[in-house]
Chains A and B, each alone.
Chain A
Amino acid sequence: MNTKQEPQRFVIPIGPQHPALKEPGNFQFTVDGEIVTKAFVRLGYAHRGIEKAAEERTWIQDLYLIERVCGICSHIHALAYCLAVEQLAHVEAPPRAQAIRVLVAELERIHSHFLWMGVSGHEAGFDTFFMYSWRDRERVMNILEKLTGNRVNYSANVLGGVKFDLDKEQIASIRSGIDFLEERTRHYLDVVATDFMFLQRTRGIGVMSRAQAEIMGAVGPTARASNVARDVRKDAPYAAYKEYPVDIILDERGDLEARFEVRLKELFESFYLIRKILDTLPGGELTARMPRKVPAGEAVMRVEAPRGELLYFIRSNGSDKPERLKIRTPTICNLTSVVKLAIGHQLADVPMILAGIDPCFSCNDRSVQIRTSSDPDGRMLSWDELRQHGIDFYKRLEK
Chain B
Amino acid sequence: MNSEEIITVATGVVKSWDWATETSQPLPKQLDVKVKLIKELVPIIVGLRVKRLGYLAAITGIDLGPEVGEMDVLYQFCPGDVVITLRVRVPRQEAMLPSLCEIIPSAEVFERELQEMFGIQMLGLHTTEHLYLPDDWPDGVYPMRKDFDPQILSH
Contact = CB atoms under 8 A, between A and B. Distances in A.
Nearest to A328: B58
A235 B81 contact: yes
Interface string B92-107: 0000000000001110
B108 interface: yes
Interface string A308-329: 0101010100000001101010
A77 interface: no
Nearest to A300: B83
Interface in B99-138: 104-106, 108-110, 129-134, 137
A309 B78 CA distance: 10
A214 B80 CA distance: 13
B155 A379 contact: yes
Contacts of A309: 57, 78
A340 B57 CA distance: 19
Contact of A369 (B26, B132, B134, B144): B134
A235 B106 CA distance: 21
B134 A367 contact: yes
A47 B130 CA distance: 12
Contacts, number: 93
Interface residues of A, number: 41
A172 interface: no
Contacts of B21: none
A336 B106 contact: yes
Contact of A332 (B29, B62, B109, B154): B109
B55 A217 contact: yes
A236 interface: yes
A57 interface: no
Given A52-B143, A52-B144, A300 B30 contact: yes
B55 to A, nearest CB: 6
Given A236-B81, A313-B74, A302 B57 contact: yes
B115 to A, nearest CB: 13
A335 interface: yes
Interface stretch (B9-17, B36-44, B145-153): B145-153
Given A44-B134, A340-B105, A311 B144 contact: no
A225 interface: no
Say what secondary structure dominates the interface of chain A.
mixed
Given A236-B81, A335-B109, A42 B150 contact: no
Contacts of A296: none
A380 B153 contact: yes
A61 interface: no
Contacts of B151: 382
B81 A300 contact: no
Nearest to B151: A382
Contacts of B57: 217, 302, 309, 311, 328
Given A216-B106, A379-B154, A380-B150, A324 B62 contact: yes
A382 B149 CA distance: 9
Contacts of A235: 80-81
Say what secondary structure dominates the interface of chain B.
loop
B109 A42 contact: no
B131 A336 contact: no
A326 B81 contact: no
Interface in A117-167: none
Given A43-B131, A49-B143, A382-B150, A300 B85 contact: yes
A333 interface: yes
A44 B154 contact: no
Nearest to A217: B106
Contacts of B129: 42
A47 B81 contact: no
A302 B104 contact: no
B45 interface: no
A300 B56 CA distance: 14
B107 to A, nearest CB: 8
Nearest to A55: B146
Contact of A217 (B56, B148, B154): B56
A309 B108 CA distance: 18
A236 B105 contact: no
Interface in A97-129: none
B25 interface: no
A311 B58 contact: yes
Interface in A352-399: 365, 367, 369, 379-383, 385
Contacts of A300: 30, 76, 83, 85
Most chain A C-beta atoms within 10 Å of own C-beta, residue among B62, B104, B108, B150 = B150
Contacts of A23: none
10 contacts: A47-B132, A215-B105, A302-B78, A302-B83, A326-B60, A336-B108, A367-B153, A380-B153, A380-B154, A382-B150
- Which 5 residue pairs of A and B lie closest in terms of their CB atoms, listed nearest first? A380-B153, A236-B81, A217-B106, A44-B132, A328-B58
Given A44-B133, A217-B105, 11 more contacts: A52-B144, A214-B55, A215-B105, A216-B106, A217-B56, A328-B60, A333-B106, A336-B108, A369-B134, A380-B150, A381-B150
